[in-house]
Amino acid sequence: MAEAPWPVELRLKRAAKRLEIAFDDGKKFSLPAEYLRVESPSAEVQGHGAGEKTIVAGRAHVGIMDLEPVGNYAVRIKFDDLHDTGIFSWEYLYRLGVEHDRRWREYLAAVAMKGLSREPPRG
């Protein structure tokens, strides 16, 4: 069994609200903060079992405040909406990169189906 791709570069682009990550197999991804936030591996988003995923709306303008290494296998992303409980393993970040187009389409469809908005509520 081949080893999972390993990150060779991780770069936070705060102004662009993106996380750029390059892997040792040559693949590079530029992942928007909003996408990472709504796909957070946290229990708050993913739930505690199959079919429990929460659709997180209103995060169109979310940014990333900081990255915190977790051992040598992951990174904790601290978002400016104060969400920071998701630990993004290298494998999960790779999967988010490879599956970006499909996952993003599914997210947009789910938001629309539930009558939600990517824009934060006005208040």
Report the distance separating Cα 102 and Cα 114, nearest Å: 18
Report the distance separating Cα 123 and Cα 90, nearest Å: 37
What are the chain's domains?
A: 7-113 (3.30.2020.30)
Taking only the tens place, the pLDDT of each residue in 50-61 is 778 899 999 999
**Prediction pTM value:** 0.94
Taking only the tens place, the pLDDT of each residue in 64-101 is 999 999 999 999 999 999 999 999 999 999 999 999 99
Alpha-carbon Rg for the chain, nearest whole angstrom, is: 14
The DSSP code for 50 is T
pLDDT at position 71 is 94
